[in-house]
Amino acid sequence: MGRSIAEDSNIDLTHWTPPDIAAVADDPFGRLVKYGYALFADTANEIGPTVSDPTRRFAGNNLTCQNCHLRGGTQPYAMPLIGIWGQFPQYRAREGAVDTLEDRINGCMERSMNGLALPLDGREMRALSSYMRWLSTGVPDGAKLVGAGTLKIKEPARAANPSRGAEVFSRLCVACHRSDGSGQRAQTGAGYLFPPLWGPDSYNTGAGMSRLLTAAAYAMHNMPIGTVFNAPVLTDEEAYDVAAYVINQKRPQMANLDRDFPTRLQKPIDTPYGPYVDGFSLEQHRYGPFEPIRAKVRELAAASRTAKAGEPDNGSHASELEK
């Protein structure tokens, strides 16, 4: 079957009805989809570090994929996966190359799951990619997805304040994530009812959620759990500061992060590890203020004709709702 390209199509995921996993057929593709859903929703018990078969211990922590991609990857502005199938292959600045969907899945495995890459021809990879293909049923390939990724905050023109963030965390986050950020384990099996936000069983320093603007955008429009993008509990300033508090905590270290973003000007402005080519400090890249970095990156990009400089930037530009 050929893949149609619909780059001019707009699909509004905030008004999209996801397909029903209960309606998946019991045929070869359907069985892969169902297994992919199990991997996505119950990752720790399927391929986590304590599963009985050591050859299937691909995840290095006990998180599940849907700890970040909420409601099985269907919640708008919680990095949903609806339509993702038709967005690949795509250029990814972190690798400086055109990635397949399978490359992107393994990026999550190695960073957010702090684990190992899945074999490309293995059942687990085929199941996860099948699940994402099924989630994308009815979405034209190449469509513009409103509600994808995270919804940007209105960023304060100052550095984020982890101390203020600690107050926000104590007031709004500890009920689920505990005061030490360790989360709450599931009642049975491995995994978490509410995931750890730092510590040895959390995502590592190479994960996208280790970036302040990404974490702030995600927290404001999805947290506390049950929050939706158009009825936030946190203010922009609270999200900005609590994200600083969370990224300031210790977590597993990913090796060789200096190899990320080989075109340095394409490194997101809030990437919390160097090297940088814009002259700003590690501290400012971690906590802001970010507008001076943006301005310098734009200047350098114009001089060098570098495309996609400073992206992805989840900062204070107009959101899809404001356009």
Rounded to whole angstroms, the Cα distance separating 204 from 192 reads 17
Residue type, 234: L
Rounded to whole angstroms, the Cα distance separating 300 from 278 reads 8
Question: DSSP H helical segments within the chain, as ranges?
Answer: 28-41, 43-47, 70-73, 101-110, 123-135, 162-172, 174-177, 212-222, 236-247, 282-287, 291-304
Token pair listed for 131: 């699940």
Question: DSSP H helical segments within 48-203, as ranges?
Answer: 70-73, 101-110, 123-135, 162-172, 174-177
**Taking Cα atoms as reference points, which of 206, 278, 261 lies closest to residue 91?**
261
The pLDDT score that the predictor gives to residue 311 is: 85
The pLDDT score that the predictor gives to residue 9 is: 84
Rounded to whole angstroms, the Cα distance separating 82 from 62 reads 24
Phi, psi for 144 (deg, rounded to 5): -80, 125
Helix H or strand E segment including 146:
strand 144-146
Q: Across the 323 residues of the chain, what is the mean pLDDT of every consecutive 10-residue run?
A: 56 96 97 98 98 98 97 98 96 96 98 98 98 97 96 97 98 98 96 97 98 98 97 98 98 98 97 97 98 97 93 57 33
Rounded to whole angstroms, the Cα distance separating 99 from 83 reads 16
The pLDDT score that the predictor gives to residue 313 is: 74
CA atoms within 13 Å, Cβ hemisphere of 167: 7
* Bridge partners, 90 (sequence order): 99
Rounded to whole angstroms, the Cα distance separating 313 from 268 reads 6
The pLDDT score that the predictor gives to residue 323 is: 31
Token pair listed for 5: 């390209």
Alpha-carbon 187 to chain mean position = 26
> In angstroms, what CA-CA distances link 29 with 20, 26, 130, 133, 270?
15, 8, 7, 10, 40
* Bridge partners, 91 (sequence order): 98
Percent of residues in the chain assigned helix, strand, coil, to nearest 5: 40, 5, 55
In the chain, what is the greatest distance between 2 CA atoms, to the nearest angstrom? 57
CA atoms within 13 Å, Cβ hemisphere of 35: 17
Token pair listed for 190: 């491995």
CB atoms within 10 A of CB 280: 16
